[in-house]
Structure 1
């Protein structure tokens, strides 16, 4: 694939967003950021990314609702990695049941995230 792979990042923590944008663009990905689930859905519908990274707890629309929208309304099977500081098993299981491909608990290593992204985009 000659195109640069696009990733939508839905994260309301601006510091983490900037860190991940810097790290993933250094790896050659194009990162589109959204500070809430509503903007994430707009980015996903407009740009048709290769992968989605979403926090679970966000303003307006949660990460779980983003997953549900992508899988059910848009019928897209692109990889989705979710993260949450609320390491509650129930939420994690719900994310997987909705169609998430991977889960990372915050705080996490950006290097580990890069490895997981590469694995899902192979």
Structure 2
């Protein structure tokens, strides 16, 4: 069973994603901010990280930077955010994100992108 860590401060979005991914057979770990995300990753392994960009304590770009450049972790990272500005998207990819989904999003599209990243 693949483990997905979801870092999202909007509880409704987090629970919606969780419900869909659990139904699809994934083991889901939910955290509400960047600090919780990094604390979890220091003690555990995951197959995929889904992160919002705008969260308390540490934002998604800071998380991506630490995961890739300090922790040297290589699992796929999918950014899920309402900010679709080109410079924001490019920065996330430059830091090491593997995919980028803009809110509002389709759960079906999210599922397809997750399957692709986990291949």
Residues 30-41 of structure 1 mapped to structure 2, 5 A cutoff: 30-41=27-38
Deviation, 1:43, is 1.6
> How much is the aligned-residue C-alpha RMSD, in angstroms?
0.8
Aligned to 1:43: 40
**Alpha-carbon deviations, 1:25-60, whole Å to 9, x = none?**
111111111100000111222221000000001111
Aligned to 2:71: 74
SS in 2 for 1:9: strand
Q: Verify: 1:107 aligned to 2:107, yes or no.
A: no
In structure 2, what is the Cα distance between the partners aligned to 1:46 and 1:29? 19
For normalisation by structure 1, the TM-score amounts to 0.95
Do the aligned partners of 1:32 and 1:43 also contact (CA within 8 Å) in 2? no
**Structure 1 unaligned residues grouped into runs of 5+:** none
**Structure 2 unaligned residues grouped into runs of 5+:** none
Runs of 4+ in 1 over 3 A off after TM superposition: none
